[in-house]
Amino acid sequence: MSDSPILELEKVSMSFDGKQVLRDVSLILHQNETCGITGPSGCGKSTLLRIVNDLLSPISGTVRFQEKDVKEWDPQELRRRVVMVPQEAKMFPGTVRANLVWGLRVHGMAADDEQLKTILQEVQLWPIDLDGNAENLSGGQKQRVAIARALLLKPKVLLLDEPTSALDTESALAVEKTINDLLSDYKMAVLIVTHNKEQAKRFTSKIVELENLTEAS
Amino acid sequence: MQLDLFALLQIPEQYIGMLQRYAAAMILLAILLMVTKWQGIGIGRKLIVGTIRGTIQIILMALILVYIFALSNLIVIFGVLTFMAVFAAYTTKSNLERIPGVMRATLPGILVGALSVMATTVALQIIDWQSSPGEFIIPMGGMLIGNCMGLTTLVIDRMWSNAQKQRPLLETALALGATPKQATELSIRESIRSGLLPNLNRYASLGIVSIPGLMSGMIIGGVNPLEAAIYQVIIFIMIFLSAMIASLITSHLFLREMFNERAQLTVPPPEL
Ligand SMILES: Nc1ncnc2c1ncn2[C@@H]1O[C@H](COP(=O)(O)OP(=O)(O)OP(=O)(O)O)[C@@H](O)[C@H]1O
Ligand SMILES: [Mg+2]
């Protein structure tokens, strides 16, 4: 059943304090697919990712992961498979290693340094001092730790919110390539929010363009 | 001239000195109010209300304390402690009025934390309470309840303001599939540690910098100083244990106020 959708959004709408942010957003994503989300600032791109990750519940509409409503998933189980790298991905207090294995640890899993090295090489962050303080990393380094941290969970759906905004083009391309390579390994789909039209064009197989609803409502 | 006024009001002589002392202390309170206002700390109203309320409460307490100390029925004594714990929980709620669901989290914490430790101490005969149960159990229980109240207030205040200020960090944790407990572990641990710090300082300087009330009272009351000193160490251990139990229970329960059943953060962003 490889052609059944892995992620399905059906007429998802969202509003905050009566102010509508998303209206009837629908989307179907299969494994190996990458979908870009673009639109002006404040149009609800991050909100949409949060809804898919079940950090927010929409006011109407349905999100299905593996053909099951996200509301029926155990939230932690869902988020282990549908992992989001937030726009403002933060480092937890501690070392780079502790940050990388943070996601694994909450699910009772672990990774050895060899695995960490592999994933760090793939996001072009090797060599790095695994015992260094994560807070001392640069913005771009932190972004890559955040992506590596999510990839270590081997997600089925990877939600990326402006994941390469602090990276130079070369590193951004490397990250894109890594994710592309992992798509089939992990049988994964990617939903990526980006301001960068170039990135959306070269990296994604489809694009959802959101618009600002504030004037309309 | 002042004395004439007192005479006019027919205030008994023995109270005059007392009232004068109280009035003098109000000068200190006025200074305190000015400093807090000047520094914009914004607790002036609480200090004034607290002074009025506290004065009335403690006077009433002083008047009935004689009877309460004379209590010998353990059930009645623990009933009094329960009442005190409920009042303590109510106090945490009114001191944290901007935060919802405080009492639901602090009441079980304070009740279980303070009363279980007190009951254990009584059951194990760690303190020699039989001679006058009320005189031992009520003030000691009161100290435990007071400390539980302080620490639970602090833990909730920290958990709430961390959730407001560190939303992105919490979201990062949740988005990786962390449970609310895992996502807040660190801030809970930190707030318990910093909440215990003042008492740890007092503990470390015991007898040199801090001459605790319980011991002083016992010595004044005629208890052998050595025995009073041992009691003081015991009460500190009891305080730490009860405050720890209370804050663990409270922080656990308070997570339910901060997250819904879908493990979504429900704490609103900080108000302007
Ligand atoms: N928790 C919230 N409470 C109230 N309003 C919110 C909340 N989250 C988002 N909003 C509002 O919803 C709208 C969309 O926000 P969102 O962060 O999704 O935009 P975005 O498209 O990601 O913008 P950007 O490109 O700047 O990141 C904004 O107007 C924002 O103020
Ligand atoms: Mg955004």
B57 and B84 inside one domain: no
Domain boundary among B69, B89, B117: B69
Predicted pLDDT of residue B3 = 56
Predicted pLDDT of residue B5 = 62
Residues facing A189 on adjacent strands: A157
Q: Is A58 in the pocket of ligand 1 (CB under 6 A)?
A: no
Contact B19, B11 (CB under 8 A): yes
Distance of CA B91 to the CA centre of its chain: 9
B9 and B42 inside one domain: yes
B35 and B82 inside one domain: no
Determine the distance separating the centroid of ligand 2 and the alpha carbon of A174, expressed in angstroms: 23
pLDDT for A216 beyond 70: no
**Closest C-alpha to A164, from A143, A189, A146, A181:** A143
Instruction: Please indicate whether, in this complex, the C-beta atoms of B262 and A85 are within 8 angstroms of each other.
Output: no
Give me the phi and psi of B262, to 5 degrees please: -90, 15
Which ligand 1 atom is at minimum distance from the Cα of A48? Answer: 18
B44 and B157 inside one domain: no
Number of H helices, E strands in chain B: 10, 0
Contact B105, B92 (CB under 8 A): no
Question: What is the total count of domains within chain B?
Answer: 2
CA distance B185 to A105: 13
Neighbours of A77 (CB within 10 A): 11
- Number of residues written out for chain B: 272
Contact B52, B22 (CB under 8 A): no
Q: Is A121 in the pocket of ligand 1 (CB under 6 A)?
A: no
> ipTM of the assembly?
0.94
Determine the distance separating the centroid of ligand 2 and the alpha carbon of A52, expressed in angstroms: 14
pLDDT mean over A161-166:
91
Quickly state the pLDDT bin for A217 (edges 50, 70, 90): very low
Instruction: Please indicate whether, in this complex, the C-beta atoms of A149 and B176 are within 8 angstroms of each other.
Output: yes
B82 and B62 inside one domain: no
Predicted pLDDT of residue B6 = 62
Minimal-distance CA residue of chain B relative to A86: B172
CA distance A86 to A157: 14
Predicted pLDDT of residue A45 = 95
Domain, as residue range, for B38: 1-69
Q: How do residues A82-109 score in pLDDT, each as one tens digit?
A: 999 999 889 999 999 999 999 999 999 9
Q: Which residues of B touch A57 (CB under 8 A)?
A: 262, 264
Domain boundary among B69, B99, B121: B69
CA distance A28 to B38: 60
Tell me which residues of chain B have a pLDDT lower than 50: 1
B173 and B199 inside one domain: yes
Residue B113 token pair: 């934390």
Residue A25 token pair: 């957003």
CA distance B37 to B57: 26
Q: How do residues A49-88 score in pLDDT, each as one tens digit?
A: 999 999 999 999 999 999 999 999 999 999 999 999 999 8
Question: What average pLDDT does the structure give for chain A?
Answer: 92
Q: Is A46 in the pocket of ligand 1 (CB under 6 A)?
A: yes
B43 and B120 inside one domain: no
Residue B89 token pair: 């929980």
Q: Which residues of A touch B166 (CB under 8 A)?
A: 90
Radius of gyration of chain B (CA): 22
Domain boundary among B20, B48, B69: B69
- The topology (CATH level 3) of A7-90+154-216 is Rossmann fold (3.40.50)
B193 and B104 inside one domain: yes
CA distance B112 to B106: 10
Residues B41-79 as b or e (16 or more Cβ within 10 Å = b): eeeeeeeeeeeeeeeeeeeeeeeeeeeebebeeeeebbe
Q: What percent of chain A has pLDDT over 70?
A: 98
Question: Could you give the angle at the alpha carbon of B148 between the alpha carbons of B60 and B46, nearest 5°?
Answer: 55
3-class secondary structure per residue, chain A: CCCCCCEEEEEEEEEECCEEEEEEEEEEECCCCEEEEECCCCCCHHHHHHHHCCCCCCCEEEEEECCEEHHHCCHHHHHHHEEEECCCCCCCCCEHHHHHCHHHHHCCCCCCHHHHHHHHHHCCCCCCCCCCEHHHCCHHHHHHHHHHHHHCCCCCEEEEECCCCCCCHHHHHHHHHHHHHHHHHHCCEEEEECCCHHHHHHHCCEEEECCCCCCCC
Best residue in A14, A77, A84 for a mutation probing chain B (most B CBs within 10 Å): A84
Determine the distance separating the centroid of ligand 2 and the alpha carbon of B144, expressed in angstroms: 48
